């Protein structure tokens, strides 16, 4: 079974500051990794994904994440945030071969202050 831990439930940041949202996972099998963003009263939008290849993946809206297999981490970063980045961010994993169900972390609420 897999588990995902998002270490920070809330992250307040000032506009134009850099941000890192942390995600660690546990799995006995190979997994794919994802970050989703959820704006208020909306569904989940895919920010980026790691399936294979380069461990540094770039996504939409200027976000990027780095897959670190030895540390079982997949932290999300953005060098300069905007007010519009205020949302809930979810890290998720899925088995490469096996059960096709996403396992989500608890989410991190990112609040951008002017």
Site of interaction with other proteins (CB under 8 A): 32, 34, 36, 41-46, 49, 51, 90, 94, 99-107
CA distance 105 to 31: 14
CB of 106 to other proteins, least distance (A): 5
Taking the least distance from each CB to other proteins, the nearer of 36 and 112 is 36
Q: Which residue has the tokens 């205020």?
A: 86
CA distance 23 to 90: 9
Taking the least distance from each CB to other proteins, the nearer of 42 and 80 is 42
Report helix, strand or coil for 27: coil
Taking the least distance from each CB to other proteins, the nearer of 2 and 73 is 2
């Amino acid at each position: 079974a897999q588990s995902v831990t998002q270490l920070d439930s809330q992250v307040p940041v000032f506009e134009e500051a850099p941000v890192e949202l942390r995600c660690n996972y546990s799995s006995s099998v190979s997994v794919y990794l994802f970050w989703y963003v959820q704006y208020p009263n909306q569904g989940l939008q895919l920010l980026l994904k790691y399936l294979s290849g380069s461990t540094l993946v770039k996504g939409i809206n200027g976000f990027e994440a780095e897959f670190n297999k030895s540390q079982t981490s997949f932290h999300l970063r953005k060098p300069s945030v905007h007010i519009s980045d205020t949302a809930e961010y979810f890290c998720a994993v899925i088995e490469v071969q096996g059960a096709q169900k996403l396992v989500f972390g608890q989410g991190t609420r990112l609040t951008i202050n002017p």
